[in-house]
A and B are shown apart, each in its own frame.
Chain A
Amino acid sequence: MKLHEHEAKDVFAKAGIPVPRSLLAADAEGAARAAVAIGFPCVLKAQVLRGGRGKAGLIKLVKSEGEAREVAASLFAGPHEVRKLLVEEAVAIDREVYLSITVDPASAEAVVLACAEGGVEIEELAARAPGKILRERVRLTEGLLPYRARNVAYALGLEGDIAKKVASLLEALWRVFRANDAELAEINPLFITKSGGVVAGDGKLSIDDNALFRQAGREPGRDYYDSDAAFEAAAEGIPYLQFDGDISLMCAGAGLTTVVYDLIVDEGGSVANYLEFGGPNYKKAVRAMELCLKNKPKVILIVTFGTIARADIMAEGITEAILKLKPSCPIVACIRGTGEEKAVEMLRAAGLEPLFDTEEAVRKAVTLAGAARVAGAAKGAVE
């Protein structure tokens, strides 16, 4: 779960990491009032979960109440579904650095990443000049010892009081990383101010979904998802990704669903959504099909090859879903695995022609979707 900037900064502040003074606003009038309270110039920052906000025009400096109101109104009205603005004091910056803590899967250790150039996209920097990124690995059992934090601060070329402040801030960031079960805790940029302070200019905190059960109060609401269907699927515990193509995937197994996605693209088709109703969800076929139908797909493609996710139970659910939801689009089904003989009988009884080969099923789905698109276009032309 990725937190919004203002949430991440709240966590940082509680851990003793300095953040700019700020207020949250939910509409243009509120933003104008907040700006007056913070003082000018100040910065309006759209609270959306995407990178590159500066380039996308989602962070704006304003110098007056009128300008704040006007800029806020345009941000709320823009295409990025902005629901909240963080109105933040403008800090007098001397320089910027990059700091983050994440997991290095290959070594199975945590790693501090730091760079003397702040404010740049770290992924872009990693590709362009990987040598500029400092890495300090940390064993979880050992924790971030102070000497490691000092290693990082001095390697960034910092000196005196500032080096000490950055080192102690990094120790605080480590506590945030551990206490919040973070996948990523990032400050980019970290401002070194003209008055000799250190302030988190931005804040990213991504919490491991597998640990949300012990992170009280962290329940992602609608504004953490890019569609209603994705939000509803998450509430059901059904893995779901939103796309905008023709074919709804209703598959079982993460690896297999990913490959079905690949094969559809290879065949020239497009995916409306990735949905996986295997694992603990194999009895949720009705709910799964409901979510697929929200995308008005041209075809629903069902591919499974389950061990625990029993084919016969899934077929029973699919039959029930067809009766209840009466989908108008064709359904292509390829269900194999535990209980497949019974599953095939049930699917035939429900009027489907079950297939046994994934690649054949994908080709059929892509062909049907193409035909539906042509028919749709022809109908549009006649009308």
Chain B
Amino acid sequence: MSIFIDRQDRVLVQGITGGEGSFWTKHMIDLGTTVVAGVTPGKEGQLVEGVPVFHTVRRAVAERPADAAMLFVPPRFTKDAVFEALDAGIKKIVTIADGIPLHEALEIRAAAVSCGARVIGGNTSGVISPGRAMMGMFPFWIDRVYKPGRIGVMTRSGSLTNEVTAMVVRSGFGVSSLIGVGGDPVPGTRFAEMLPDFQADDLTDAVVIIGELGGTMEEEVAEAMRDLVFRKPVVAFLGGRNAPKGKRMGHAGAIVTGGKGTVEGKTAALHAAGALVAARPSQVGELLREALEGRNHKKERT
């Protein structure tokens, strides 16, 4: 079992005939993903990497049932594409789009919740369970970063994930599943919502959270730990510790507003819940070791 996506999940790709869509579809297939259909209006009948293309999601799933939809669709058309997938009964959706209008992000999330579906993104690299399947855009060139292993990763940033995950791997660990929730202020799925899946996953021993300033997602992780919803070790690395007040640091979601969202506050909440927080990327590996050994000691004592 892995988180969100596994080999047997049938994936449909919206926007498959575009440059990004066709390029990453190939790499998704190469990494083990079962891609069953593509959708681009007006392009039905074509094949992309051997995958048949349909005009609409409805027409695609009628012939090729799908469990998940991967969207390579520009931000301004993302709401339409997400709703189209939801309407066709698809319950797992990943959107990489960077720049989804804020009001539409709210509508996307509300629609996903009301359909009992999960939308990951936007503004993310996607989801990968190394050695099993991938939805999104992950380096296909390097197992220095995405080597299979037993550490779950959740992240708000693609570039930082490469940086931090490389450190995890350098310390002798590998990745079970990685969920990029994305850098937007209102992501389709929040960190804490994925924790029950990681808790249940017997391929995951501990979770690394790559967070940053802004919002309350890291605090929600701390809450889930305190409430024992999540009981595995957590190591966090948070960007924006020294960010000046009121500046939006890169990601739309990376800003302190109303006094909320400081890295200081997030660190305190995570510490209080028993998580370890790394001051720099190179510390993540050793803290993971510490967290996992600490847990084993506890087990031996009890």
**Chains A and B belong together in one complex:** yes
Q: Which residues of A contact B (CB under 8 A)?
A: 103, 105-106, 108-110, 122-123, 126-127, 139-141, 178, 181, 183, 208-211, 213-214, 239, 241, 243, 252-259, 261-263, 265-266, 274, 276, 278-279, 304-308, 336-338, 357-359
Inter-chain contacts of B249 with A (CB < 8 A): 241, 254, 257-258, 261, 274
Query: Would A276 and B105 count as touching, CB distance under 8 A?
Result: no
Contact status B280-A255, CB under 8 Å: no
Binding site for A on B (CB under 8 A): 20, 75-76, 98-103, 105-107, 109-110, 113, 125, 137-139, 141-142, 155-163, 166, 183, 185-186, 190, 210, 212-213, 215-216, 220, 239-244, 247, 249-254, 257-259, 279-282
Residue of A nearest to B248 (CB): A241
B172 CB, min distance to chain A CBs, angstroms? 17
Taking a contact as CB atoms under 8 Å apart, the answer to whether A139 and B110 are in contact is yes
Question: A241-B247, A258-B243, A307-B162 known; 7 other A-B pairs, CB under 8 Å?
Answer: A254-B251, A255-B250, A256-B163, A258-B157, A279-B98, A357-B282, A358-B281
With A257-B250, A258-B250, A262-B241 known as contacts, the answer to whether A108 contacts B186 (CB < 8 A) is: yes
A127 closest partner in B (C-beta): B259
CA distance A109 to B282 in the complex (A): 37
User: By the criterion CB–CB under 8 Å, are A253 and B159 in contact?
Assistant: yes
Given contacts A108-B106, A210-B100, A265-B242, contact A255 B216 (CB under 8 A): no
With a cutoff of 8 Å between Cβ atoms, the chain A residues found around residue B98 in the complex are 279
User: Do A140 and B106 contact each other (CB < 8 Å), given the known contacts A305-B166, A307-B137, A338-B139?
Assistant: yes
CB pair A213 B76 closer than 8 Å:
yes
CB distance from A60 to the nearest CB of B (A): 25
Set B76, B142, B159: member contacting A255, Cβ < 8 A: B159
Top 8 closest pairs, chain A to chain B, by CB: A253-B159, A255-B157, A254-B250, A255-B160, A256-B159, A265-B242, A211-B101, A108-B109
Shortest Cβ distance from A106 into B: residue? B216
Q: What are some 15 contacts across the A-B interface (CB < 8 A)?
A: A103-B102, A105-B253, A106-B190, A141-B107, A210-B100, A210-B101, A253-B157, A253-B162, A254-B159, A256-B160, A257-B159, A259-B160, A261-B242, A262-B243, A359-B280
Q: CA of A304 to CA of B210 in the docked complex: distance in angstroms? A: 17
Do B159 and A263 touch across chains, with their CB atoms under 8 A apart? no
Smallest beta-carbon distance A30→chain B, Å: 31
Is there contact, CB below 8 Å, between A105 and B280?
Answer: no
**Cα separation A123 to B105 with both chains bound (whole Å):** 25
Say yes or no: A255 contacts B212, CB within 8 Å.
yes
Hey, which chain A residues are within 8 Å of B210, CB to CB?
255
Contacts of B101 in A (CB 8 A): 181, 208, 210-211, 214
Chain B CB within 10 Å, residue with most, of A103, A110, A256: A256
Q: Measured between C-beta atoms, what is the minimum distance from B230 to chain A in Å?
A: 18
Chain A residues positioned under 8 Å from B125 (CB to CB):
307
Tell me the bound Cα distance from A34 to B230 in angstroms. Answer: 63
- A210 and B252 contact, Cβ closer than 8 Å, known pairs A305-B159, A305-B162: yes
* Most B C-beta atoms less than 10 A away, residue of A252, A255, A261: A255
Q: Which of these, B75, B158, B253, contacts A253 with CB under 8 Å?
A: B158
Closest CB-CB distance, B81 to chain A, in whole Å? 16
Contact indicator A262/B240 (Cβ below 8 Å):
yes
Please, how many angstroms separate the alpha-carbon atoms of A259 and B106 in the complex? 28
Q: A141-B107, A262-B239, A307-B138 in contact; A181/B102 too (CB < 8 A)? A: yes
Taking each of A103, A105, A214, A276, which has the highest tally of chain B beta carbons within 10 Å of its own beta carbon?
A: A105
Find out whether the CB atom of A178 lies under 8 angstroms from the CB atom of B103.
yes
Across the interface, A140 reaches (CB within 8 A) one of B110, B158, B247, B282, namely: B110
B103 near A254: Cβ-Cβ < 8 Å? no
Residues of chain B lying within 8 A (CB to CB) of residue A305: 159, 162-163, 166
Flag if A106 contacts B220 (CB, 8 Å): yes
Which residues of A lie under 8 Å from residue B216 when comparing CB positions? 105-106
Are B103 and A181 neighbours in the complex by a CB distance under 8 Å? yes
Q: What residue of chain B has the Cβ atom nearest to residue A109's Cβ?
A: B106
Task: Please tell me if the beta carbons of B259 and A123 are within 8 angstroms of each other in the complex.
Answer: yes
Within the complex, the shortest CB–CB distance from B134 to chain A, in Å, comes to 12
Contacts A255-B183, A265-B242 given; indicate if A359 touches B282 (C-beta within 8 A). Answer: yes
Once the chains are docked, how many angstroms separate the CA of A103 from the CA of B166? 35
Distance (whole angstroms) from the CB of A229 to the closest CB of chain B = 15
Given A106-B220, A255-B183, A259-B160: A123 in contact with B258 (beta carbons within 8 A): yes
